[in-house]
Each structure stands twice: as C-alpha cells, then as structure tokens.
Structure 1
Amino acid sequence: MSMVSQRPRNARGRVAALRVMTWALVLLTAIAPVSAADWPMSNYDPINSRNQPAETTLSPTTVSRLAPVYTVTTGGDNWATPVVVGEAVYMPDASGKLWKFDRHSGKVLWSHSVSEYNGVANSAVRTSVVVTEGLVIFGDRSGANMIAIDETTGERRWITRLDEHPAAQVTGSPIVVGNRLYVGVSSTEGSKFVKDRKATSNFRGSLVALDSQSGKIVWKTWTMPDNGGQLDSWSGGAIISVPGANVEKGIIYFGTDHHYSQPESVTACLMAAPDDWNPACYPAEARFNAITAVDMATGQPRWTFFGSGARVWEMACGELPRVTYPFPLHGIGHAADVRVCPPPNDFLNWAFAAGSPQLYSATIGGRKREVVGIAQKSGVYWAFDAETGEVLWHTLVGPWSEPGGLTWGAAYDGQRLYVALTNLEHVPHRLTSGQAVTGGSWAALDPATGKILWQTGDPQNAAAYAAPVVANGVVYVGSMASSGDQMYALAAATGKVLWRFAAGGSVATHPVVADGRVYWGSGFSLFGGTSHNKLYVFGLDGK
C-alpha cells in the first residue's frame, strides 16, 4: 500500500511547473555564496546541512586544543543557535532579549527585548535569526509574528503576523532563498492534549512564504483541511522545525506534528476499517505526521508521505508496559520496544514535526538520486526521492521516548549523515557495538543505505537533545547532563570522543563553526535540564 499521495498534472499544471523551474533558476543565480567566516542561518544553508564546508583550522588532529576565547553572559538560557555574519554574532535568549556581539571580542553592540518590536509583554524567541540583505529576521512566540530589524541599528523595519489564531507561534527558524523567506507556524496547544483528552482546538499549522525585504506574505499552505473555525473538526499539524529547500527543483519540504482532532465521520470511517486504518478516510489536505513537498513559487503541494497509520493524539491510556510490536504500526521495518495503547489511541509518536529535512545526492541502486532525508520522533530516519516522494530507505536508530526519539534533524557533510537520539526517558537499549546504554547517543548513517556506521553513547548516560553539527571531519554534539561535561567533539569517521567541555548547564542547541572558531550557547531548563546563560566562543589554544 502506497503512503505517498500525488495529484496528476494537466497541461495547466505543466505550464505552472515550467514557471516554477524558471523562477528556481533565477533563485540559483540570486543566492550569494556563504563565506567561510559566516554561518547566516540556523542550519547554515537552506538544505539544512549543518556543515561548514570551508573549515580548515579545526580538524580531528587539532580539535582537542579547543579552549574558550571569551564568554558572553546573556539574559537567560540559550535555546537558539547563534548566527555569525560579517563582524558580528546575533542570538536571542530565553529571557526575550536579542543580542548583537562583536565576533572577535564579545563586546555587546546592541541588545533589545522582543517586546520592543511586537508590543507584547514578556515575549520570547525560540528560533535562530536569519541575516540577509542588511536585515536580521526572526519569529516570535507571541502571535506568530515575523520581525525584521536593521542589521546595524537594531531598529524594526517590518513586522508581519503569520496567523491570527491566539495559540499560533513560531518555533522553527526561517530559511532564506533569494528574496524569499520560508517559515512554519506551530501552536502552544499541543501540550494541552497530553493533559486533557477532551480538549478542543481549531488551530491549523501552515507553511508561509514571505518577501524578505517587505515582509509581505507571498503564499500560505495549510497542513490541515479547512475547519470553518469549528472546534472538534480538523486541527493540529503544527510545523515546529525548519523547512528545507531543493532550489534546483524548486521544492520546499517540511515535517508536521500530530493532528489534535478530526471530524466524527472520519473517526467512524477508521473504526470500521480493518486494523483501524484506511487511508481513504483522510482527504489529501490532511498533512499531519507527515513530510510534504510544495512548490517554492506557489506553495502548491507536490507530494505527502504519512509516517504511520493516522492517529488522533489522545494520551488517555496512561503508562502501559513496553511491549514488542510491529514497527511501524502499519508496515515497514524492524521490531521495536514501544509504548502502546489500545486502538484507536496508540501512543506511538510518528510525528515528523521536529525534524528539519536534509537535501543531498547519493548513488542508490546504481544511479544518482536527489534525496530528502528527515528524522522522525519514532527514532527512525527516513530517506525519500526528493521529486517523487518514493521511500528509498529507513533506519531505526534507537527507541522512541517523549519528547521524541530523533529530534531537530541531522548534519550531512557529503560522506555521512549524523543524528542524535534523545532518549530523555532513559529507555535501556544496546548500540550497534553491543554496549548497553540508558541515555542518549549519536550515530552516523550511510546516506545511500541508512546503515548505521557507528554509535557513541552520551558519556554520562544523559539525554542528547541538540542536533549535531559537522565540519572538516569533526562532529560537535551537546548533552543534557546537569553537571560535568555537556559539549563534545567526535571524530566524524569513528565517533570517538576527541574533546569535551563542562559548559555549566545543559546544552540543547547546536553550535556554529566559522573561520576556526566554535560559537555555542549553554542553558536549557526544560525536560529536567539545568539553566545557564553563557555563550562560549572557542578557538585553538583559546586564540
């Protein structure tokens, strides 16, 4: 049974596709090359590589000499990855302040509260900024606003509200391609369905494209069918993380979270189906627990892959014993230890919400394929044909646990994919080496087959919530440990620990590598983590 939905193209569709291709070629010429000294957006580039390809100073033979050059004290925990452009570092903190530092000395050049820009008291930013054409652009958690400020002065240039729903927010960093911004809209309501199975909502997730200079919305694509504003109809499908772009093909990709509710007619259709699953019960517009590809120019969906049998997220079952169950629930793969509830309320988490898609090329089955890969909360990493949505491979890296097995996506350096397995609930399992662990771990995957090449457990058996970053043969990973070491550098080829550092607080964000230095924030108090308010800048021998 295919889980990819597509619409046939008619003549008008082919004309539209030609226009998209032409527009994409224009974009290709509009994208300036990234300097070796820069890291202009959260994941370095629109393909979410999290790889600094121009790094030459830091390597497997030199990284053990990393030491702090300077530290900056921020106003709170550091959830977002810093961005480095030109002579400056830009970073928000959890207290609601946005900072600009001199990259060489750490001197504060300006700082502003987010509330100054949106007029909402106690506003905060979870996302990294993107710096483009003299603007610093970011999304807030108080009204789902995108805000652009002047790179030099910090003064507001424009503000655009993406969604009028009172629960809407922006939790995933934007990407920029040419003069277009792409960003997802998520919701504060997901957590209430954990506490109350009878909770109601009419929020719908969406992906939004904006003109980066004016803030004007170019298009908006919903992840759920129109609910007419009604409660207990369609709701959910939040986009929590960063979208990815294949500029050559003119396609944007994004992952979605669970849906919160659905019409009673859909529930009845599912209950009447064998094994409580019939894809015909769902319209094509229901794009939850899924990865979706849309046209960059228009937002028109190209294809959608659903990660499992559809399930309304209802946490009414409580804790049940972990049992061996077919993986995933309706199809492909391995056996896994999971937590299950009686249908239709199984407790499996097949959301793609926290996985930012990686775009790359690989030789698969004897021919070159354009691939989009994405991490799933189930603990599985998936690879698809970037144009058709065909499943190329999938690998179970480790057990699922709340808030997710694989979160925030991978890093890719042209040789391997690198992922972090969170394991916040400390589920006992074994790595490919046979080592028994109860904490998080990091792994390298073959990009053509998904084979696990190596795994390294967190040395303190703490959770591993931060995404990896790779540069010149070194993988940088963070730990949720409350004490001891929280920052590590691993050999990309083997996973061997080459360097470690006690950051003073839990680390839940990935660093930036630029021109021989590593910029890395510490402090994360959620999920049992430890607060801290330092941005560390490392160099060889502290220089």
Structure 2
Amino acid sequence: MKLTCLLLIASAFALAADDPYAAAVFQKHCATCHQASGDAAARIPQIAILKTRSPNAILRALESGAMMEQAKVLSAGERQLVANWLGKPVTLESQRERLSNPCPAAGPTGGAWQNTPGWSGWSPGLGNTRFQSAQDAKLSAADVPKLKPKWVFGFPDTTLLRAQPAVHRGRVFVGSQDGTIYSLDAATGCTHWSALVNAEVRSGITVAEIGGKPALFFGDSTGYYYAFDGESGKQLWAMRPEEHPAAKSTATPVYYNGRLYVGVSSIEEALAISPGFVCCTFRGSESALDAATGKVIWKRYMIAETPKPQKKTKRGAAVMGPSGAGIWTTPTLDPEHDTLYVTTGDNYSDPPTALSDAVVALRMSTGEILWSKQLTAKDSWNGACYLQGHKNCPDSDGPDFDFAASPVLIPLANGKRALLLGQKSGMAYGLDPDRKGAMLWQARAGKGGTVGGIQWGVATDGRNLYAALSDIDFQMTMVAGTGNREYKLDPTKGGGMFAFRADNGERMWRTAPPGCGGKAACSPAQSAAVTGIPGAVFSGAEDGHLRAYATGDGKIIWDFDTAQEFKTVNGVPGHGGAIDVAGPVVANGMVYALSGYPSRGGLAGNVLIAFSAE
C-alpha cells in the first residue's frame, strides 16, 4: 500500500510537470517577474528557485502568502495547477519528517525552562549594538577557534533562511521559509513544538515574558505580525499593521514595557518590473502595538501624503506617488529620552520625499516625529530601473541606497552619545542624536549598490564599529543567438570586514575576503548582519563561510564552510549554502547560524547549525 501511494504521487507530479495549460498560465501571469533577465531577478525568486519548493508551499504563497494579490486573477484550479507544475514533489516520508525528533518528556531538564543566558530580538539590547556580553555569551575569543557543530537542524521544503533565531531560557525559536516556527532545545536540537503561519517567517524572533509566561513575536512575508505562547506554540494573536497588499514584515519587533514596536516594508518596488504595473502606492510606517492583544496604539507613516496620480515618466509610464520609504529595520529604543530611532528605505516613484534613506527619531509614547536626517536625497528607484528601456523607472533614477541596517545607539567616552549607521551606499556614519542627527563623522567601506554596501547590520563594542561589506557583483555574458544577457555571481568582487573608531570614524583595520577559491555559484560578498562578543566579531558570507575576526587587528581566527552536507538531528537531509540577512546568535557558550540563500544566484541551503567549543 505504501509503495502504491508513493507511485501514485510520483505519477501525478510527473503529469503535472508536463501540463501545457499550467505552463501557459504561468507564462501569461507570472513569467514577467519570475523569468526576468539580469539584475531585475535580484529581489524576485526565479523559476529555477520556485522549482525547488513543494507544490503545497507554492500554493500557500498564491492563496494566503506573498503572491495572494497577484494570484487573485487565477481560479482556485489554476492556482493548484500552477503550483503542481512548478513544485517539486514531497513524498509521504518527507512530510512525516516534520514531526521527527520530539524532545523527551522526561529528559535531563524534563522540558522545563532553564535560567540560562539568551539572545532575544535583532540585538540582545535596546541599542541594537549586536554585541553579546561576556557574561551572556559564555564564549571567549580564545574559545572561538575551537568551535565545531554540536548539532544541526534541517528545515523541510526550504532553500532559503533569513529569519534570525532567538535563544530564551534553554530554547531556540526559529522560523522557516514554509511558514513553520519551531521551538528547539538549545543544547540538543530536539523539537518541543512547531506551528504554522501564513507565509515565510521573514523577521527575526523576539521573546518576552507576558503575564509571567514567555511569548514569541515575529513577522511574515505577507505583512502579518504574530504572538505565540512560548510554552505550547499556541497562537495568541495575529495582526497586519498595514493593509497595503504588497506589505511585508522584515523588521524584527522590539518589546519594551508592554509594547511592541514594529516596522513595515514591501515588495512593491520589485513588482514595478511588469510593464503594465502602475508604480507605486505603498508607504512605510512604524507602529506601537499592545503586546498582549496586538492592538495598534499609534502608527506613523514615513510619507504623510497619500499617493495620487503624478505626471508620467519621460518614457510614458503612468505614475502613482509619493511612495516607498519602507522600514526594513528593527527600531532602536531610547526610553530615557522617550525616543525611538528607525532607518528608512528609498522612494519607489517620484516625487522623492524627505524621510527616505534617512534616520528618523520618533517619540516612543506617541509616534510624533522629532527630527530626521536624510543621508541620500532624491533616491527614487524600483525594479524597472534594472531593465533595458526601464519604462517604469522613476525619472529620478536614484542609486537605491536605502537602509537595511538598524541604527545603533551608544555612549561615548566624552560623555556624549552617537548613532552609528551603515548604508547600502557603502558609507558608515556617526551622528549626534542630541543635536538632531548632526554629522559626527563619515567613512567609506565600499562603492555601494542596489544589493551592495553595508547591508543588514553592524556591531559595536563601544570602541569600534564593525561592518561587513557586500558590494556583490555579477559577470555578464551574451546568450548566443538571442541578444539576451546572462548574469552570474562574480567570484572576484565584493566582501571585506572593517573596523572604524566609534567616536571619529578613523579606520582601524580592513580585512580582505579570502575569495571563492573556484567554488561554483559563489561570491565573497558579506551581506549578513555582524555579531560581536568581547574580542571577536562574526560575519557570514555569500560563499557559505562563517568567519570570526579578532577585534584588535581584524585577523581571521576561525573559518567554517557551511556549504556542505550535514547529518541533522531531525533526519531531514541537510545542506548549507550562502549566508545572508540574519547574523549568528551567541548565547550560553553556543553560536547559532542559519545557512542557505539562493537569491541572486547563490547557494541554497536548509540548516540551522549550533556550534560549541566543547
């Protein structure tokens, strides 16, 4: 019977793979974006990536996930046919793997919560320093070279991982591409529980005690934020702070004093590559929520004006605007001054606005804008700017130098304070938060670009700012007989680690990337967020390597290639790949790192690796 079922499933998917009607539906409604050429493919998964997902995962994206709005023109049957045509079959055995390796009820801890150090949220503190103290890290720089995998967890139906995990009282909470959230034992990787949400878990995870019980907070790729009971995995609430259909929740929530602070970004600038799309109507915003209920306490748009029709582009495309200024980043809180700091993205259409590519100070209690500092002006850009003819590209045709990295708030030795920033322009900055963002210093790490510069996050120990450089680049060749261009990752461009003095921006050291060494689908770019402990900083790269650098001189003191096969504790076939977005999390003598990021032609992967120096 088992064999018969598997044969029937295999036969059904073999037929689906050859379905000419489904292929035609895809070509008519999907191919413009998902078979885009060149750099336009950087932010939208292409057909080769979609074909690594299961039909169920694709169907969920079409019916309740990131592509729900675009799929409304399809019937339920067409959505299923397209999902079956695109998807990779998932056997009954692999479905059962989702429930494997449960934690024993009577183990060393009996499932009880532990009073051990953790890491909650994007950073273990409100200042977003991404620096773990010696007391909570329980890992010295001298121990780092001894790090080895202690256990590895494999995510089913996954090729891409970017939702930074959290560690809380002996458990690791982590979200995946298929929308599953897991509670794992921090020491062994066994599973306490798992639960499913609407779409890919996109933000990092924050854990806070609500009513004396741990609760998880996180966002997904359709713009929802969630609260879950940390003990049982039961959903407490779900809400969408922004109703725009292209909204998504990349910003890791921050909990403070009963409130949750959340930002909203979107995929609308990528949708503009479709010639018939009228760009754009999304506006980024920051909101304060009641953590117990999800109720909105206040909401502040980064563009006050409601989008309306604007004059056509010089290429004749209809325009809606102003738009954009999404908030991709975790806010930085300063409760003593009742202030919250966020960084913003670019505009998607003209006219450009004053709060794009900026750091914005808001009053924590009310959301009132106190001041702002724009670092790149007139930066209106969308995905059409990649394309030949780029009809939907704004006339401003900006450089796409938005912020994907949170601001960092630190005290200085002279008694003053500084906000430290890293931007996709390749620039690092020090600003004075007590003089409305007055410039203290600026320093260049790289040339910057749409996926270049300093991307997802910097770290600081209070003395230096540690920044990894992306500056990812591509090699272009012409496809014979077609006139089309083919892009591949350039293994010789991008990457590097920098240390700048936090008080004046002086460059203390730079460490060049070791290079790809002939590895296929490789880039030395370092886009992922940086993590620090006393004496060492960690940085993951597109080449799949996770490295640690000595804070004193930048010397690489540890290097582990995650792009390899792993035996996982839950039995799912595991393989690492490129590392992007989420930085490693350090707590209680362990380092937890995600591996797998096939976007932009990188290496797919599906593992969470737990390192220990034991």
Q: Tell me which of 114, 125, 133 is aligned to 1:45.
A: 125
Pair 1:138-2:239 in alignment: no
Instruction: Report the alpha carbon displacement of residue 389 of structure 1 after superposing the two structures with TM.
Output: 1.5
TM-score by length of 2: 0.68
SS at match of 2:321: coil
- Report the 3-state secondary structure (helix = DSSP H, G, I; strand = E; otherwise coil) of the residue aligned with 1:101: strand
Q: Per the alignment, do residues 56 and 356 of structure 1 end up closer, same or farther by CA in structure 2, a change over 3 Å counting?
A: closer
Q: Take 2:277 and 2:371, find their aligned partners in 1: how far apart are those partners?
A: 32
- Change over 3 Å in CA distance of 1:189–1:61 after alignment to 2: same
| Offset, 1:476 | 0.8
Which is richer in helix? Answer: 2
Higher strand share: 1
Amino acid at match of 1:449: N
Provide the residue aligned with 2:175 in structure 1. 92
Is residue 2:467 matched to residue 1:419? yes
Quote how far apart the aligned CAs of 1:225 are: 2.2
Moved more, 445-454 or 241-250: 241-250
Please name the residue that 1:158 is paired with: 237
Which residues in structure 2 correspond to 1:272-287 (within 5 Å)?
286-287=354-355
Q: Structure 1 regions of 5+ residues with no counterpart? A: 1-33, 116-122, 267-281, 321-341, 428-435
Q: Please list, as runs of the form range in 1=range in 2, the aligned pairs for 1:305-316 lying within 5 A after superposition.
A: 305-313=373-381
Pick closer, same or farther for the CA change 1:519–1:317 going to 2, 3 Å. Answer: closer
Residues 418 and 445 of structure 1 are in contact (CA less than 8 Å); yes or no, is this contact kept in structure 2?
yes
Match of 2:335 in 1: 247
Report the Cα distance in structure 2 between the residues aligned to 1:315 and 1:200, rounded to whole angstroms. Answer: 10
Which residue of 1 is the match for residue 419 of structure 2? 372
Which of 74, 78, 83 is the aligned partner of 2:166?
83
Once the two structures are TM-superposed, the CA of residue 61 in structure 1 deviates from its matched residue by: 2.2
Verify: 1:362 aligned to 2:412, yes or no.
Answer: yes
Q: Please tell me whether residue 105 in structure 1 is matched to residue 184 in structure 2.
A: no
Contact 1:317 1:345 in 2 (8 A): no
Q: What residue in structure 1 maps to residue 533 of structure 2?
A: 471
Counterpart selection for 1:525 from 574, 591, 598: 598
> Would you say the 8 A contact 2:540–2:579 is kept in 1?
yes
Runs in 1 of length 4+ with deviation above 3 angstroms?
193-199, 228-231, 314-320, 342-347
- Greater relative contact order (Cα 8 A, min sep 6): structure 1 or 2? 1
Identity percentage of aligned residues: 31
Q: Counterparts of 2:190 and 2:589 in 1: how far apart (Å)?
A: 19
Distance in 2 (alpha carbons) for counterparts of 1:64 and 1:499: 5
Give the Cα separation in 2 of the matches to 1:305 and 1:403: 22
CA contact (8 A) 2:399 2:449 kept: no
Q: 1:385: Cα distance to partner?
A: 1.1
Q: Name the amino acid aligned to 1:137.
A: F
Q: Which residue of 2 aligns with 1:288?
A: 356
**CA 1:236/1:107 → structure 2, altered by over 3 Å: closer, same or farther?**
same
Cα 1:252–1:316, aligned 2, differ >3 Å: closer, same or farther? same
Is the 2:578–2:604 contact (alpha carbons within 8 Å) kept by the matching residues of 1? Answer: yes
Describe the shift of the 1:468–1:188 C-alpha distance in structure 2 as closer, same or farther (beyond 3 A): same
| CA–CA distance in structure 2, aligned partners of residues 536 and 44 of structure 1 | 20
Quote the residue 1:5 is aligned against.
none
CA RMSD of aligned residues (A): 2.5
1:181-208 CA-partner distances (Å, limit 9, x unpaired): 1111111101134565973221111001
* Corresponding letter in the other structure for 2:419: V
Candidates 544, 550, 555, aligned match of 1:496: 555
8 Å CA contact 1:162–1:208 kept in 2: the answer is yes
Length-normalised TM-score, structure 1: 0.77
- C-alpha distance after superposition, 1:259-287 (max 9, x if no partner): 12245xx8xxxxxxxxxxxxxxx6xxx41
Distance 1:96 1:65 in 2: 34
- Quickly say closer, same or farther: Cα 1:395–1:220, change in 2 above 3 A: same
Q: 2:324 touches 2:347 (CA, 8 Å); kept in 1? A: yes
Alignment of 1:377-388 (within 5 A): 377-387=424-434, 388=436
Once the two structures are superposed, the pairs formed by residues 125-204 of structure 1 within 5 Å of their partners are 125-133=201-209, 134-142=214-222, 144-193=223-272, 199-204=278-283
Following TM superposition, by how much is the alpha carbon of 1:60 offset from its aligned partner in structure 2, in angstroms? 2.8
Distance 1:103 1:351, change over 3 A: same
From 211, 214, 217, give the equivalent of 2:290.
211
Distance 1:57 1:168, change over 3 A: closer
Matched, 1:443 2:498: yes
Deviation string, structure 1 residues 28-85 (Cα, Å, up to 9, x no partner): xxxxxx9861101122222111111125642232211111111111232321221000
How many residues align structurally? 444
Per-residue deviation, residues 6-28 of structure 1 (Å, max 9, x unmatched): xxxxxxxxxxxxxxxxxxxxxxx
Contact 2:117 2:137 in 1 (8 A): no
Aligned-partner SS, 1:191: helix
Q: Report the alpha carbon displacement of residue 523 of structure 1 after superposing the two structures with TM.
A: 0.8
CA drift at 1:396:
1.0
For 1:514 and 1:530, how far apart are their aligned partners in 2? 27
